[in-house]
Amino acid sequence: MTDDLVATAGEYVAGLLTPGEMEAFEQRIATDAEARRAVADWRRRLLALDETAQRVTPSPELWARIERAIGRPAAVDPEAGGTWLQRLWTSLPALRLASLAGAAAAILLAIIVALQPGRQAVEAPTVVAILTAPNTNEAGAIVEAFADGRIRVVPLRPIEVPEGRTLQVWTLWDRQVGPRSVGLMAQARQQDYRTTGMPRPVRDQLYEITLEPAGGSPTGRPTGPILYVGRGTQPL
């Protein structure tokens, strides 16, 4: 592994590359095992630093100012409950944000596979999604959906679950059908679900994690705040 590769991988992880440089390096990641290892090494090095950073809650006006600056309508207040949730599933900006996370999923999967050479090809997921926080774009979980109906959720960071509440995983493959529950998660930990009655996972399928009352949503639809959301992509 050359010093130039290590330096470029560090700049890539830190987000310092130009769009053209980033695109070229991502193409290299897809085919070069050493590049994948270099990126994975930098992510491990910077993880400890990231975890020491103090969490800062943005002001309620911040998101509206950002949207005004880029010419988009002001977002609906996330505390508006069901109305905000319904708009997220049909919101073009939200879908575009999820698409960006989905594009990153293929690269992340390539890194994971490189670090797990013993993984059998038959176990490869059909669709992978990186779920991010709607307001901060902070990655919070990885979803792997398999052709046989299994769905694996791998949280990337702790998620606070207040007493009397639970995490619930959802998926949406058809807006006319609406979101469907994958299952509950009492705390943030890797969990496999066996689903039935759902079609084979496809590219651009949406996944999300919401905070619901104990026992799950009483309506069969998301009712609590969306913690993480992302759109699936087919792994390399």
User: What tens-digit pLDDT sequence spans the chain (236 residues)?
Assistant: 677 788 888 788 777 788 888 888 888 888 888 888 888 887 776 665 554 455 566 666 767 777 776 665 544 454 444 545 555 555 545 544 555 555 555 555 555 555 555 444 446 899 999 999 988 888 999 999 999 999 999 999 899 999 999 999 999 998 888 999 999 999 999 999 999 889 999 989 999 999 999 999 999 999 989 999 999 988 76
Task: Classify the C-alpha dihedral 96-101-105-107 as positive or negative.
Answer: positive
Question: What is the four-CA torsion angle of 108, 114, 119, 121, rounded to 10 degrees?
Answer: 80
CA atoms within 13 A on the CB side of 67: 13
pTM: 0.51
Q: Could you tell me where the beta strands, DSSP code E, fall in the chain?
A: 127-132, 139-145, 150-155, 165-172, 180-185, 191-194, 206-213, 226-231
pLDDT of residue 124: 84
pLDDT of residue 19: 83
Query: Other C-beta atoms within 10 Å of 222: how many?
Result: 27
Query: Which residue's structure tokens are 């059998």?
Result: 120
Which residues on adjacent β-strands are paired with residue 231?
206
Q: Which two structure tokens, joined as six digits, stand for 119?
A: 């993984």
Region of residue 215 (phi > 0: left; psi between -120 and 50: alpha; otherwise: beta): left
pLDDT of residue 184: 95
